[in-house]
């Protein structure tokens, strides 16, 4: 705890204030500093935290709380970051190229997008900006659509309301990968003070929605369109685009959660704007029951993730797990693709069931490290990629990233075709389990306030790995130096442990596989009991 302000910390804060081009954040940090200098211990701690930066620029770009100081998202940080990006692009021989800048509707997004666009314009790039807050997949789409050398999206995806972020795409239309992140980090460190970075207006306003929506509407679909859909945008930017996409694809019986359909940076009806979080989709499932829907769809706030909900056989609605949705859409794509040599991909922490489906279909299969930056680079002929955290890409031909809008439209087509046959997605999951075994997945997450705790836990596991999990002998595989990941394997058992790249969490991803030799329900009971035992052991390890 920083109970008092040291002269060094005081001087660093004063330098930041003098170099900040934004009067609002200058005043904000000065106010906190004044309270700290007057003896307010809480304010002293806050100054120390705000000055503990800078935010690290990684392959996920930047992400942090919107506040003054180097350890936050603000105009000064975005200005210096973009100056570094501009220098990096110039060093790659891409000076003067097209760069597209988009944004979501979070606190600060408009000012941050304007700062990024003006820094790039002043640096000589041909900058194109979006006319309003739009889903992240539209930015990814725009990079290829406009022949850009890079794209920047101001977004914190499904992070808490206090956060914002800065996501960078390269000329492939995918997010950057190493060593680009390290090169950009060095360029940012060498950038001048934010107040000295030139800025200039003049970016061209473009709107890619019509072209994008036409491509989504042309995704392979069965002719059936009789489907009632309940949907939510979780106070994000996806509702209007999703509604138009569904309408153009022929789905007109769509009901949105009214309280969550307009962008609201405070996310008032959810404690955490992530469809994976308990309670986040309660209003959606209530609406689905009320209107007697056939399918429920939840987007995250920047609409790159998509979660599906279905009515169970007991009549109660539930959200599908990310692995269930990935397997459903992947199996459907494998059965309908006209690609003679298709590739499907998922990550090392997702269910391995997609690999079994690919093998049965005579298709290629790849597993990558976590993150869509790796999935879209899985190989030629990619037709589908997913990660268990609700990331789905059914359209890698024109969006090289996860795309909740396109996935929702594709899922609607699949559900409509099943409805016409008198079947549901749960029937398909039963068929898959009967053929390939019950694959159950779960996750154990440890949220930390001190990121060093994650490293200590990982070091402890490396030094003394468990020899059994849930009563099954396991062996450990360490993925260092390629990734800070531990993988534990046993007979019909896999656990992957890693620090989260976007949240202050240590995560363990669990999978058990039980063959179905007779009754499917009995196999599920066996698998559920085994998964529970593994979860208990992992929870103890991480505690």
Active site residues: 157
How many Å apart are CA 42 and CA 29, to the nearest integer? Answer: 14
DSSP assigned state of 270? -
How many Å apart are CA 235 and CA 139, to the nearest integer? Answer: 19
How many Å apart are CA 32 and CA 47, to the nearest integer? Answer: 7
Kindly report the CA angle at 180 between 179 and 186, in degrees rounded to 5?
95
How many Å apart are CA 141 and CA 275, to the nearest integer? Answer: 23
Strands 317-319 and 382-387: unpaired
Phi, psi (5° rounding) for residue 66?
-80, 110
Whole-angstrom CA distances from 19 to 29, 81, 99, 194 are: 12, 14, 26, 6
Q: Is the dihedral of CA 158, 160, 161, 165 positive or negative?
A: negative
The DSSP line for 219-231 is S---S-----EEE
Alpha helices in 4-135 (DSSP H): 7-19, 23-37, 41-50, 75-91, 109-122
Cβ-Cβ contacts under 8 Å for 258 (sequence gap 6 or more): none
How many Å apart are CA 153 and CA 494, to the nearest integer? Answer: 35
Q: For residue 382, what are the β-bridge partners?
A: 343
Say if residues 485 and 348 touch (Cβ distance below 8 Å): yes
How many Å apart are CA 38 and CA 32, to the nearest integer? Answer: 10
Nearest C-alpha neighbor of 136 from the set 406, 450, 512: 406
Enter the tokens of residue 119: 């820094």
Enter the tokens of residue 106: 């979070």
Tell me the three state secondary structure of residue 398. coil
Whole-angstrom CA distances from 521 to 18, 328, 429, 437, 526 are: 67, 19, 13, 12, 9
Alpha helices in 347-473 (DSSP H): 353-361, 372-375, 404-420, 425-436, 452-463
């Amino acid at each position: 705890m920083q109970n008092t302000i040291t002269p060094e910390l005081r001087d660093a804060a004063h330098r930041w204030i003098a170099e900040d081009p934004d009067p609002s954040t200058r005043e904000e940090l000065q106010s906190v500093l004044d309270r700290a200098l007057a003896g307010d211990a809480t304010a002293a701690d806050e100054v120390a935290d705000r000055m503990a930066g800078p935010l690290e620029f990684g392959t996920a770009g930047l992400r942090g709380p919107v506040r003054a100081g180097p350890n936050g998202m603000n105009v000064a940080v975005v200005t210096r970051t973009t100056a570094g990006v501009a220098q990096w692009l110039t060093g790659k021989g891409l000076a003067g190229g097209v760069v597209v800048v988009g944004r979501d509707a979070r606190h600060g997004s408009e000012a941050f997008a304007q700062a990024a666009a003006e820094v790039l314009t002043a640096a000589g790039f041909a900058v194109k900006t979006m006319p309003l807050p739009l889903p992240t997949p539209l930015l990814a789409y725009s990079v290829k659509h406009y022949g850009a050398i890079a794209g920047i999206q101001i977004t914190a995806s499904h992070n808490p309301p206090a956060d914002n972020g800065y996501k960078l795409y390269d000329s492939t239309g995918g997010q950057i990968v190493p060593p680009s992140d390290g090169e950009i980090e060095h360029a940012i460190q060498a950038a001048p003070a934010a107040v000295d970075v030139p800025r200039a207006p003049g970016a061209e306003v473009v709107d890619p929605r019509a072209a994008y929506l036409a491509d989504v509407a042309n995704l392979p679909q069965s002719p059936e369109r009789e489907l009632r859909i309940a949907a939510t945008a979780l106070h994000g930017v996806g509702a209007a685009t999703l509604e138009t996409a569904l309408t153009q694809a022929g789905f007109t019986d769509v009901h949105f959660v009214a309280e969550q359909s307009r962008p609201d940076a405070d996310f008032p009806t959810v404690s955490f704007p992530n469809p994976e979080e308990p309670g986040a989709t309660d209003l959606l499932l209530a609406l689905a029951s009320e209107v007697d829907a056939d399918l429920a769809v939840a987007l995250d706030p920047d609409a790159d993730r998509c979660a599906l909900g279905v009515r169970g056989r007991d009549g109660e609605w539930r959200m599908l797990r990310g692995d269930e949705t990935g397997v459903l859409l992947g199996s459907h794509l494998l059965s309908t693709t006209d690609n003679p040599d298709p590739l499907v991909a998922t990550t090392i922490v997702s269910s391995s069931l997609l690999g079994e489906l690919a093998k049965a279909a005579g298709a290629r299969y790849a597993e990558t490290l976590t993150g869509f930056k790796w999935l879209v680079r899985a190989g030629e002929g990619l037709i589908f990629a997913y990660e268990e955290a609700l990331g789905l890409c059914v359209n890698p031909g024109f969006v090289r990233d996860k795309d909740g809008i396109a996935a929702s439209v594709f899922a609607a087509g699949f559900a409509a075709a099943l409805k016409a046959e008198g079947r549901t997605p749960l029937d398909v999951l039963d068929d898959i389990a009967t053929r390939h075994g019950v694959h159950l997945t779960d996750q154990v997450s440890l949220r930390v306030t001190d990121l060093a705790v994650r490293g200590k836990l990982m070091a402890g596991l490396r030094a003394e790995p468990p020899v059994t999990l849930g009563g099954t002998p396991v062996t450990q595989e360490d993925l260092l130096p390629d990734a800070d990941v531990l993988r534990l394997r046993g007979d019909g058992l896999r656990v992957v442990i890693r620090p989260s790249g976007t949240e202050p969490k240590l995560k363990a991803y669990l999978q058990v596989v039980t063959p179905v030799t007779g009754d499917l329900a009995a196999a599920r009971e066996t698998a559920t009991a085994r998964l529970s035992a593994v979860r208990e052991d992992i929870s103890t390890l991480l505690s």
